[in-house]
Amino acid sequence: MTIPEASLRLELDSAALIANWRALDRLSGTAQAGAAVKADAYGLGARRVAKALWQAGCRDYFVAHWSEAASLLDVIPAEAIAVLHGPLCPADAEFAREAGLRPVINSLHQARIWQEAGGGACDLMVDTGINRLGLPMAELDDPVIAGLQVDVLLSHLASAEEPVPQNEVQRLRWNEARGLVTHRRASLANSAGIALGEGYHGDLTRPGIGLYGGTPCAALDGQIAQVARPEAQVIQTRELQSGDSVGYNATFTAQAAMRVGVVSLGYADGYLRCWSGRGMMLADGQRLPVLGRVSMDMTVIDLSAAPQVGEGDWVRLDYDLPEAAAISGLSQYELLTSLGRRFPRL
């Protein structure tokens, strides 16, 4: 029995992905650019993304969970993968040692777990002001930290996309930590942090959203290409008469006769209700507005400008990340990570 093809698809532009990584690597100066591939590469498919970036020359990858690392072990070398959430129990540390993964140590508790398991190469996260994961500066002189074999000394910027004093405060604390902990490499900058300049680059940068088509700050405008292109099929066309309403709660009413299409896409697929009456789809260069409320599995669009579009045809979501974020009110990160599993990643 052959399962029919999905009525949704998410095209990954590998050439644009690689071009974005190379642009961010170039902007990193003497530092090398790694890649944040956590959350399934921000929803685009970590295995496919990691394989493409490895072939392009990327040699450091960051995931959040052990399961994410496990899914990449047959795609890229284990020693290239760092697990940001670190070992929470001896079983985590044992898995990391057996697989050859680098745990990111975030606390004295995690450092002890790693040491008691036998230790080995690891990364160390230092909290310089974001107050999420990371070792407090005051604990850097603890003997258990001195016993770690630290590859990358990490910290994470809280407001890199904004020109605020906090960035410089964090940079100075990170530099202080570099003088207190023996390490091989140091890393602070995410995508926006790369644009802050050489003082933030260290030895390794960790772009995420910039790889996938997002521009978190104006300094990256024009240097980042769109990577994700979601598409959906029209599953029915309808002819409305003046006065006919569309969708739940009749939030759109036709003012004249018009042709509309029902698209196989809804909030269950990550096309959330914030797009209701605001979103746009594309066909043959024509812009097709979303009408009425987005529902769980369906969205209605205006086909007045596209008489050639019929049932079974594909339309593309207008999903340029900076513009889509401005229209929807969602962050560029949410726009990608919310795209549902009914989208085959192509």
**91-104 burial: b if 16+ Cβ within 10 Å, else e:** ebbebbbeeebbbb
Full pLDDT tens readout for the chain, 346 residues: 999 999 999 999 999 999 999 999 999 999 999 999 999 999 999 999 999 999 999 999 999 999 999 999 999 999 999 999 999 999 999 999 999 999 999 999 999 999 999 999 999 999 999 999 999 999 999 999 999 999 999 999 999 999 999 999 999 999 999 999 999 999 999 999 999 999 999 999 999 999 999 999 999 999 999 999 999 999 999 999 999 999 999 999 999 999 999 999 999 999 999 999 999 999 999 999 999 999 999 999 999 999 999 999 999 999 999 999 999 999 999 999 999 999 998 8
| 86, 92, 98, 101 alpha-carbon torsion, rounded to 10° | -20
Token code pair at residue 343? 């989208």
CA separation for the pair 176, 155 (Å, rounded)? 12
> What is the rounded CA–CA span in Å between residue 89 and residue 110?
8
In 3D, which of 324, 315, 234, 323 has the Cα closest to residue 270?
A: 324
Beta bridge partners of 102: 82
Catalytic residue among 42, 61, 200, 248: 248
How far is 238 from 255, CA to CA, in rounded Å? 15
Residue 255 near residue 249, CB atoms below 8 Å: no
The tens digit of pLDDT for each residue in 232-266 reads 999 999 999 999 999 999 999 999 999 999 999 99
- Residue 198 corresponds to which tokens in the numbers above? 């050489």
Radius of gyration of the chain (CA): 23
User: Helix, strand, or coil here: 239?
Assistant: strand
The active-site residue, picked from 38, 200, 271, 319, is 38
92-116 residue pLDDT tens: 999 999 999 999 999 999 999 999 9
Q: Is 51 annotated in the active site?
A: no
The closest alpha carbon to 232, from 154, 114, 340, belongs to: 340
- Where do the domains of the chain lie, and which CATH numbers do they carry? 13-214 (3.20.20.10), 228-319 (2.40.37.10)
